[in-house]
Amino acid sequence: MIRRICVPTASAALCGVAALALAAPAPAATVSRTAGDLTVYPGQSPVADAPAGAQARVQAVETGDGRTIVTLHVTGLEPEAAYGAHAHVAPCGATGAAAGPHWQHRQDPVTPSTDPAYANPHNELWLDLTTNSAGNGHAKAVVDWTFPSAGRPGSVIIHEKHTATGTGVAGTAGKRVACLTVPF
């Protein structure tokens, strides 16, 4: 706000312009939450399967400062098991492949993406977790971007193992064992 200020003095009025800095309110955060039974794809993995009745909860918060925070909570998976989890481009379907490839902020021209320049936790949503003795686990991803208005992810896929990071294998996490459709 610009305001003209005049102060009377003995000889004349002293006038000037003062700019008042008012703190602008921070933009509001956008929050989406989804919870429910996982779509399970039984028999996909000898390493870590997803039993029927397993559930997940996903929360995505797009902050006012341009970041996105996503949390994943799972229950009823195999106990003491390492899982990879990522946002995928499409909703869950009859098979894990129906969810399509990993959703990427900067899209790799090659699909499936195994180039670490694209397949990494700064360009994708990686939510790897290890379950406890009851088969429950959680993960959190924080990235320095928000989702575009169009072309948002459609699901979170649970994979049979933690995500690889090496050249030629970056982003791979084995078979798709379960899925939750998430309207990010």
**Domain CATH number, residue 116:** 2.60.40.200
167 contacts 116 by C-beta, under 8 angstroms: yes
Q: What is the pLDDT of residues 107-140, one digit of tens each?
A: 999 999 999 999 999 999 999 999 999 999 999 9
**169 vs 14: CA distance, rounded Å:** 71
Give a yes or no: residue 40 inside a domain.
yes
Full domain range(s) for residue 91: 30-181
Q: Is residue 69 included in any domain, yes or no?
A: yes
Total domain count, the chain = 1
User: Would 10 be classed as within a structural domain?
Assistant: no
* CA 89/CA 107 separation, integer angstroms: 11
30-59 per-position pLDDT tens digit? 999 999 999 999 887 777 788 999 999 999
Residue 17 lies inside a defined structural domain of this protein: no
Is the residue at 134 inside a domain? yes
Residue 153 lies in a domain: yes
In a domain, 15, yes or no: no
